[in-house]
Chain A
């Protein structure tokens, strides 16, 4: 009897540390899952709060697990990059000389532009600055292309801000938690971006199709476009500022697509465009 009591009070006889659910557990949780699924397909917006809470809660774990792998990846790439470093250095030197010439031209054009703005009394655009953030989790898979950033409301990140990596835009903020936020990449099937094709001033919509090359849609039938043209945001809709670099025009199976400037393969850090309204003093100046 004494032995039996001591066995009951101990955990040594259990098959698992938590045996919740019982015999009907599967049925109960299956019904609950079906209900959740049906509800989420019709009312996905109600899960936004839950998503951000889970994101904030799970991010330290993902961060801790992912950090050694990220460091390992960085070390491997730096080791393999040593052999190409010399060639890259020569190329960069040549590019630097060319850029210095362009810098002088840009300064001249900037002064000229400012003079025209003053002459025409143009309204000042919103001031832009950047929030730099680390990518803590890449959730891209066959169906959804997104990533989680280590910045949220605490760092003034807001929904619908443009996210840039390297040389161009790569996505937009769709969910913001206290300490984390989520980007929907431009390659995702749900991503639509109003664009302008430079050189022709043709406006269109760039739509993601889960491939690396988003397609250009809503082009007039007789539009003649040049492959390689620069693609920037048009600013239509008022969500993103105009002129943000996006990519260059390419042809994919007969249709026009965009090769993004931002390298999606190597996004460790991103810049979130923080567009703030200019103050009255700035406008007066």
Chain B
């Protein structure tokens, strides 16, 4: 009992709490209008940045259940077909984690480029599913601008994440290395 409330444990819990607060804040930006409704469609998609960065550096912080819940809540709030974002996020994380060893050896610029391609692929998938779902061709221009803005924002968000990464408790478990996340 005493051990649980020790300074060390509280310190670690506080750091995890800070991490999830930052993630929650970024995800809630999806529902806030900063400028105007006509510009709202171009707001960056933070969720893909979050999943990409943390799947490379600490995938254990984004377990499948969390991605599932976030995806479903996002679909419910954005009036999307429920489950669409959950599928996209889980598949995205699955592929990133499978290529993690390769990605960890890349430079920041290379990671940025890989994120750019992934982001466009994911947005194109969203566009494709919606076009099939409503059986009409949606405007891709707005989505392309959203993708470009997300790519431009990535370095700044990843800088913030690097700082958060440094203050997070080290990822060790008995028999688990840094690579395991």
A binds B: yes
Residues of B near A54 (CB, < 8 A) are: 73, 76-77
B67 x A29 contact (CB < 8 A)? yes
Main secondary structure of the interface of B (DSSP, over half): helix
A15 x B181 contact (CB < 8 A)? yes
Residues of B near A182 (CB, < 8 A) are: 79
A139 x B9 contact (CB < 8 A)? no
Q: Provided the pairs A26-B93, A33-B86 are in contact, do residues A12 and B63 lie with their beta carbons within 8 angstroms? A: no
B114–chain A nearest beta-carbon distance, Å: 20
Q: What would 6 A/B residue contacts be, using CB atoms closer than 8 Å?
A: A14-B173, A30-B94, A137-B32, A138-B33, A138-B40, A139-B77
B93 x A212 contact (CB < 8 A)? no
Task: Report the Cα distance A151→B21, complex, angstroms.
Answer: 27
Within A49-88, the residues touching B (CB, 8 Å) are 50-51, 54-55, 58, 61-62, 65-66, 69, 73
A146 x B79 contact (CB < 8 A)? yes
Q: Could you give, for residues 116-127 of chain B, a 1 whenever the CB lies within 8 Å of some chain A CB and a 0 otherwise?
A: 000000000011
Q: Provided the pairs A20-B65, A29-B64 are in contact, do residues A36 and B16 lie with their beta carbons within 8 angstroms? A: no
A13 x B38 contact (CB < 8 A)? no
A55 x B139 contact (CB < 8 A)? no
Residues of A near B93 (CB, < 8 A) are: 26
A11 on the interface (CB 8 Å rule)?
yes
Within A224-277, the residues touching B (CB, 8 Å) are 264-267
Residues of B near A148 (CB, < 8 A) are: 31, 77
A210 on the interface (CB 8 Å rule)?
yes
Q: Which of B38, B63, B142, B174 contacts A25 (CB 8 A)?
A: B63
A13 x B31 contact (CB < 8 A)? no
Task: Report the Cα distance A182→B38, complex, angstroms.
Answer: 18
Within B71-109, the residues touching A (CB, 8 Å) are 71-73, 75-84, 86-87, 90-91, 93-94
**Chain A residues proximal to chain B, CB less than 8 Å:** 6, 9-21, 25-26, 28-30, 32-41, 44, 47, 50-51, 54-55, 58, 61-62, 65-66, 69, 73, 135, 137-148, 182, 185, 189-190, 210-212, 264-267
B65 x A65 contact (CB < 8 A)? no
A139 x B78 contact (CB < 8 A)? yes
**Chain B residues proximal to chain A, CB less than 8 Å:** 3-4, 6, 8-9, 12-13, 16, 24-25, 28-29, 31-38, 40-41, 58, 60-61, 63-68, 71-73, 75-84, 86-87, 90-91, 93-94, 126-127, 130, 133-134, 136, 138-139, 142-143, 146, 169, 171-174, 176, 180-181
A36–chain B nearest beta-carbon distance, Å: 3
Residues of A near B138 (CB, < 8 A) are: 142-143, 189, 210
B86 x A36 contact (CB < 8 A)? yes
Most buried by B among A14, A15, A18, A135: A15
Task: Report the Cα distance A21→B65, complex, angstroms.
Answer: 6
B146 x A142 contact (CB < 8 A)? yes
B28 x A17 contact (CB < 8 A)? no
A265 x B76 contact (CB < 8 A)? no
Residues of B near A267 (CB, < 8 A) are: 37
B81 x A62 contact (CB < 8 A)? no
Residues of B near A6 (CB, < 8 A) are: 3
Task: Report the Cα distance A147→B24, complex, angstroms.
Answer: 20
Task: Report the Cα distance A265→B41, complex, angstroms.
Answer: 12
